[in-house]
Structures are given as structure tokens and as C-alpha cells.
Amino acid sequence: MQLLKNRILVTGAYGLLGSNLLELSIGNYTLYGMARALRPDVNMPGIEYIEGDIVDRKRVLDVIKAVQPNVIINAAAYTNVDGSEDDREACWKTNVDGVANLAYAAKLIDARLVHVSTDYVFDGTKKSPYKEDDRVNPLGFYAKSKLAGENALIAAGANAAIARTMILYGKSKSSGLNFVTWVIEQLRSNKPIRIVDDQVGQPTLASELAEALIKLALSDCDGIFHISGSEALSRYDFTLEIADLFRLDKSLISRTTTEALQQKAPRPMHSEFDLSRLQAELGVTMSGAWAGLQKFKARYPLI
Ligand SMILES: NC(=O)c1ccc[n+]([C@@H]2O[C@H](COP(=O)([O-])OP(=O)(O)OC[C@H]3O[C@@H](n4cnc5c(N)ncnc54)[C@H](OP(=O)(O)O)[C@@H]3O)[C@@H](O)[C@H]2O)c1
């Protein structure tokens, strides 16, 4: 008898995380990718793409009832941290109402929902790595919306887990620039860049996060998990590592501070994660910064 394949629906199908989740899973599961607008030019064989905005409750219900996934992974989000300060309604609708819609639909058909959140739910003032149950205190509007999304999911009472992550990088056919690919692009074009040396976090390779999320999705663990690269370093030090590995001109990189950069949204300065729950309950170990970059380069040698 052939075992039934898991049916996995990924929202944010063309985003950095969503596309990594789908690419990695081709052949192993029956895959559906939901996106606001279809992009046939970057579609991958082995994935059925479906148009749908997560803010539209009726559309979400129709898609989920039609597809009958046993697992839904929400990688869709309003992710423009600074933009959210001015574009509050759009941010809230996607990051809170959208999550509530998915939770409602998941509960209705008894599907499991894994939702992705952020280290920005913390204010960054804790002196040791953040555990999942540490006190939250989001600083900017994006961060507040992500925390409200977590709470909407918990309130819905669906079979669900939340994965908080940070500083995602990687590549796919459809994804746009992220911190690492931006640094590479700037340095390759001989453009000087100024990078903050006072924001410390754990860079996370999107494909590694995707593997961990699939594991979480297929487990029966619930609650919140911290999932990120295992090593904390400043953006500046991470940029030097990128330049080293890709043999780029480090003299183009100079230090700056968050205060001098004047980013619109406030951010936590130190948001290291304690990854012990991930290790203990899912047996997942994440790479440090250099090892993650090496994996990335090995996977995309032509970048
Ligand atoms: N990137 C990071 O450093 C980082 C750090 C911490 C946490 N996270 C979290 O990780 C998750 C994945 O982030 P990412 O880096 O992969 O983001 P991303 O590349 O910006 O992708 C987000 C995707 O969501 C889609 N989307 C936005 N609003 C939507 C809506 N209303 N309905 C359906 N789709 C919608 C976007 O589609 P369009 O192209 O149509 O806008 C895009 O494809 C998010 O929950 C984010 O908050 C990311």
C-alpha cells in the first residue's frame, strides 16, 4: 500500500522563505504555493501555485477547503520594517488579520499551522539569549504587528506552532535581495557600504530554517520555537565574513551606528536566541555564521 503523501500549503510562495520551503520539498510532499499574484516565469515543476491574498478570509477558506492540506506553513508577511511605520493598515491586515484567517481555516479542516515570527518581538535589552517564554516588548510597528499575529494565532486555538527567526538570507528563483545578496552586489560593483556595528543577531540561512520548519510542521510540538543561525555577531562583523568568503574588497566596508543610520523603525540592538528547545525537542542544530555562508556558497556557486 502506498503511504499518502503529506499535503503542504505554503503561503508567501515567492518570498525568500516560502520559495526555499517549496524548493526544498519538491518530490517529498504534495505541494501548494499560495501567492498574492502568480508569476509563471519563476514557477517550479512539482508545485501547484494558487493565487490568494491571506487578508481575504473568503479566498483563504476557499483555497484551504479545496486543497485540504494537512499542513499549512505561513511564510507570507508584510516584511518592510521601516515602511510599516507609515503603511500601518496594510502591515496590520497581513500580519494580524491574515494570520487569524489562516488559523480559522486551519482549525476548520483540522490542519496543522506553522507560523513564522521574529526576534523583533523583543526589545533587545536582555543580557543573555532570549528563551521562548521571555518577556516580549516590541519596539516598532512591524514588531507590534508580528506579536499581535502570534497572539491571534494562539487565541484561535488551532493545532499550531510559531517559529521566531531573524536576519534571513539565501536565494531562490523568485526571491529579491536580502542582506547577504545586497552586500555581495554592492561590493562587486565597487560601491562603499556603511554597516552598523551595534546591532547583534544570528544570521539564518533560509534553506536551513526551511528544513527546521518542515520538521516542526511534521512533529506534534506546539507553542513557540526560536530558530535561527547559532552564532551571534554584529552586522558589521557578518559583512566582513561575507566579503572574506566571496573574496570581495573589505576596504569598501565601513562601520556606522544605528543612531547615525537613522532607520525609521526602532530595532532591538541585541536579540540573541537561546536555541535549546529546538535542539532538545526537534534535534535540530543550526549553523554558525561562517558555516551558514559556506553552505550558501556551495549551493549557489555562481552567485
Ligand atoms: N527576512 C528576515 O530577515 C526576517 C527576520 C525575522 C522574521 N522574518 C519573518 O519570516 C517570514 C518570511 O520572511 P521573508 O524574508 O521570506 O519575507 P519576503 O521575502 O518579504 O516574503 C514575504 C512574502 O509574503 C507575501 N505577502 C505579503 N503580503 C501578503 C498577503 N497579504 N497575502 C499573501 N501573501 C503576502 C509577499 O508577496 P508580495 O511579493 O506579493 O508582497 C512575499 O512573497 C515572515 O513572517 C517574516 O516576518 C523574516
pLDDT tens-place string over residues 56-94: 999 999 999 999 999 999 999 999 999 999 999 999 999
pLDDT tens-place string over residues 231-274: 999 999 999 999 999 999 999 999 999 999 999 999 999 999 99
pLDDT tens-place string over residues 133-173: 999 999 999 999 999 999 999 999 999 999 999 999 999 99
CA distance 43 to 23: 10
Global confidence as pTM: 0.97
pLDDT at 3: 55
CA distance 20 to 13: 9
pLDDT tens-place string over residues 16-29: 999 999 999 999 99
Asked if residue 84 lies in contact with residue 145, where contact means CB atoms within 8 angstroms, the answer is: yes
Ligand 1 residue neighbourhood (C-beta within 6 Å):
11-12, 14-18, 36-37, 53-55, 75-79, 94, 98, 116, 118, 146, 165-168, 175
Asked if residue 192 lies in contact with residue 251, where contact means CB atoms within 8 angstroms, the answer is: no
pLDDT tens-place string over residues 141-152: 999 999 999 999
Q: Give the three-class secondary structure for 9.
A: strand
Asked if residue 145 lies in contact with residue 95, where contact means CB atoms within 8 angstroms, the answer is: yes
Report whether pLDDT(37) > 70.
Answer: yes
Strands (E), 146-232: 159-165, 168-169, 193-196, 200-201, 204-205, 223-226
Average confidence score pLDDT of the chain: 96
For ligand 1, mutation pick of 17, 34, 78, 228 (most atoms within 8 Å of CB): 17
For ligand 1, mutation pick of 9, 78, 79 (most atoms within 8 Å of CB): 79
Helix (H) or strand (E) holding 23: helix 16-25
Q: Residue with the nearest Cα to atom 11 of ligand 1?
A: 75
Distance 163 CA to ligand 1 centre (A): 14
Asked if residue 20 lies in contact with residue 172, where contact means CB atoms within 8 angstroms, the answer is: yes
pLDDT at 2: 43
CA distance 159 to 103: 9
Asked if residue 270 lies in contact with residue 89, where contact means CB atoms within 8 angstroms, the answer is: no
Question: What is the number of helices (H) and of strands (E) in the chain?
Answer: 11, 13
Distance 18 CA to ligand 1 centre (A): 8
Share of the chain above pLDDT 70, in %: 99
pLDDT at 5: 83
Query: Domains (ranges, CATH) in the chain?
Result: 7-172+203-230+274-287 (3.40.50.720)
Distance 257 CA to ligand 1 centre (A): 26
Q: In residues, how long is the chain?
A: 303
Distance 75 CA to ligand 1 centre (A): 6
Distance 57 CA to ligand 1 centre (A): 18
Classify strands 233-234 and 200-201 as parallel, antiparallel or unpaired.
Answer: antiparallel
Residues 6+ apart with CB under 8 A from 204: 165, 166, 167, 168, 169, 227, 228, 229, 286, 292
pLDDT at 161: 98
Distance 77 CA to ligand 1 centre (A): 4
Report whether pLDDT(1) > 50.
Answer: no
Asked if residue 265 lies in contact with residue 86, where contact means CB atoms within 8 angstroms, the answer is: no
pLDDT tens-place string over residues 214-232: 999 999 999 999 999 999 9
